[in-house]
């Protein structure tokens, strides 16, 4: 069963550890006595608050720091400094400021909570628990403040402590869904699954709710008791027909039963629901798409699910990319390009949407667009080597070798690691050869191999080009042999090695190597088929050679193989 929604996570409560309190009682204003002492103090304090609320924390920090330097006892300023440091992820400074605030006003509950949460975030769980226990002792009715304590006790695996907090909550506020689920989770953590389910079933009788019923449904689905699972999902939906987790659960139940009409009936609105986490839905669809048989069988329905998902979350980058990939897979590349273009406008200044678009253009071999869009991306990110490389590849594919050389030379000058340097040197070798400058091409291949003696692409291309010229064939064979040792199942490398053997007059061995190349995909490559046919022809196997030449000509008629064969037949 595909699990998209973790309804009961491994933690008791999923909460944000650090919360910024910007306007709370006892913090937002200075005392009348303080104002009388220095009227300018209050104005500076209010200005710092104004800047903070407007989203200018650095400017606010400067004013607050000047205030605490002049007035060390100014607890409110220390508190807001603590908030600023939290946002900057400087928890050490945040703790210092929170401690200073609490020293200024030891009775302020918000200062205590701030310090407790910072301590929890820095791993000082005992200190955090101690502060919360003090709050609990002094404020027994504030059960809303106990939630963090339950999480802390659970993290410490002090389940009795967590249960004692739940007891306090229930004494003050009574039993509720949250306390019931928390008790259930604690029993699970204690590795008492049977007791946990028995408790939850009893709780469901006393205080039924869609969530409780869905948790029970999930449990029975996980142990493949689908009849019970469907009963509980149905119970949840009878209480709330729009309860999303139960909708998903019952849909999955129908899928597992093979009742696909009912599965899609529930899944269509689920995917269209804007309240469900888009990333969870995107992950679900990704897992579903990994089953090509299912997609092929139910293509119209899967298409509707994808359309509903994107329609519900058009501005979510992950959803947009997944939808674009689906559009490409279903021969709607133009739609995919537009989706990713829109995604870039939704996230101005972010790199990932741009990378996704350029990667798609590369995959689609839209070389003109790849070059122009790479240029646009490099306006704001002039030193992005990935974008430069995509631009250079596009230029190379368009046979704009001069421009491509300029691009890759720039990459070479900016390369900060050996892998990038080696790869770029090798590409420059290829590019110079395409440009007709063999001398420069060989120089770059030699530089590549000097830095990385086992760089197979450079070894292969250098060897092949030498063999085409009939030069340094022994050197070419030694380099080619290395590539075959590095990647013995690479049809291209096997072909090069065989072709050099052919050039050296060793057609018998060349035939053996080319047979291996056929096994690893060479039978789909016109050049390799052409080479194999030539070797067979030289060995006197002319009829078989003509068959392979015919196959090569069908794959790529532009090689002129048909005309070549006709001439051979006339000899």
Contact call for residues 125 and 110 (beta carbons, < 8 A): no
- For the chain, the domains span 453-570
CA pair distance 465, 500, nearest whole angstrom? 10
The residue count of the chain comes to 571
The closest alpha carbon to 85, from 99, 73, 74, belongs to: 99
* pLDDT for 137: 87
CB-CB neighbours of 120 under 10 Å = 22
* pLDDT for 569: 82
In the chain, DSSP finds a helix count (H) and a strand count (E) of 33, 0
Q: What is the pTM of this model?
A: 0.65
* pLDDT for 37: 55
pLDDT digits (tens, 9 = 90+) for 309-335: 999 999 999 999 999 999 999 999 999
Collect the ranges in the chain with pLDDT lower than 70. Answer: 1-39
Class of the CATH domain delimited by 453-570: mainly alpha
> What is the DSSP track for 516-535?
HHHHTTGGG-HHHHHHHHHH
* pLDDT for 25: 34
The closest alpha carbon to 152, from 349, 297, 11, 10, belongs to: 11
pLDDT digits (tens, 9 = 90+) for 482-507: 999 999 999 999 999 999 999 999 99
pLDDT digits (tens, 9 = 90+) for 68-121: 999 999 999 999 999 999 999 999 999 999 999 999 999 999 999 999 999 999
CA pair distance 465, 475, nearest whole angstrom? 12
């Amino acid at each position: 069963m595909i699990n998209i929604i973790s309804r009961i996570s491994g933690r008791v409560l999923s909460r944000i550890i650090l919360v910024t309190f910007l306007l709370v009682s006892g913090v937002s204003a200075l005392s009348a006595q303080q104002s009388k002492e220095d009227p300018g103090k209050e104005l500076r304090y209010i200005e710092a608050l104004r800047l903070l609320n407007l989203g200018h924390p650095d400017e606010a920090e400067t004013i607050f720091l000047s205030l605490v330097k002049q007035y060390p006892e100014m607890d409110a300023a220390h508190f807001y400094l603590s908030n600023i440091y939290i946002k900057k992820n400087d928890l050490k400074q945040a703790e210092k400021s929170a401690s200073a605030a609490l020293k200024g006003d030891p009775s302020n509950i918000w200062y205590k909570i701030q310090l407790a949460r910072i301590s929890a975030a820095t791993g000082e769980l005992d200190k955090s628990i101690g502060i919360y226990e003090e709050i609990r002792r002094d404020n027994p009715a504030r059960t809303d403040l106990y939630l963090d304590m339950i999480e802390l006790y659970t993290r410490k695996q002090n389940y009795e402590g967590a249960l004692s907090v739940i007891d306090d909550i229930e004494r003050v506020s009574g039993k509720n869904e949250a306390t019931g689920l928390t008790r259930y989770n604690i029993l699970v953590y204690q590795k008492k699954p049977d007791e946990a389910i028995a408790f939850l079933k009893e709780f469901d009788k006393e205080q039924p709710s869609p969530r409780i019923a869905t948790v029970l449904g999930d449990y029975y689905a996980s142990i493949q008791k689908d009849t019970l699972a469907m009963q509980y999902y149905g119970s949840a939906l009878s209480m709330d027909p729009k309860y999303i987790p139960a909708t998903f659960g019952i849909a999955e139940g129908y899928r597992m039963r093979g009742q696909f009409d009912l599965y899609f009936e529930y899944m269509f609105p689920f995917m269209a629901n804007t309240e469900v986490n888009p990333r969870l839905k995107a992950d679900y669809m990704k897992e579903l798409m990994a089953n090509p048989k299912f997609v092929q069988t139910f293509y119209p329905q899967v298409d509707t699910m994808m359309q509903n998902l994107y329609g519900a979350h058009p501005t979510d980058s992950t959803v947009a990319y997944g939808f674009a990939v689906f559009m490409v897979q279903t021969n709607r590349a133009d739609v995919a390009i537009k989706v990713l273009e829109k995604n870039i406008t939704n996230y101005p200044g972010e790199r990932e949407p741009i990378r996704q678009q350029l990667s798609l253009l590369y995959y689609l071999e839209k070389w003109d667009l790849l070059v122009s869009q790479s240029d646009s991306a490099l306006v704001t990110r002039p030193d992005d080597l990935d974008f430069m490389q995509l631009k250079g590849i596009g230029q190379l594919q368009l046979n704009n070798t001069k421009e491509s050389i300029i691009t890759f030379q720039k990459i070479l000058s900016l390369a900060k690691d050996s892998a990038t340097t080696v790869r770029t040197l090798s590409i420059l070798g290829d590019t110079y050869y395409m440009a007709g400058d063999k001398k420069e091409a060989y120089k770059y291949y030699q530089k590549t191999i000097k830095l990385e003696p086992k760089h197979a692409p450079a070894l292969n291309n250098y060897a092949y080009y030498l063999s085409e010229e009939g030069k340094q064939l022994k050197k070419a064979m030694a380099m080619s042999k290395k590539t075959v040792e590095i990647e013995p199942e690479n049809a291209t490398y096997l072909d090069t090695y065989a072709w050099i053997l052919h050039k050296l007059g060793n057609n018998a061995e060349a035939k053996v190597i080319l047979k291996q190349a056929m096994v690893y995909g060479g039978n789909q490559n016109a050049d390799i088929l052409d080479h194999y046919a030539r070797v067979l022809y030289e060995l006197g196997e002319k009829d078989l050679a003509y068959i392979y030449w015919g196959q090569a000509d069908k794959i790529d008629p532009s090689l002129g193989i048909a005309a070549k064969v006709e001439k051979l037949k006339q000899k």
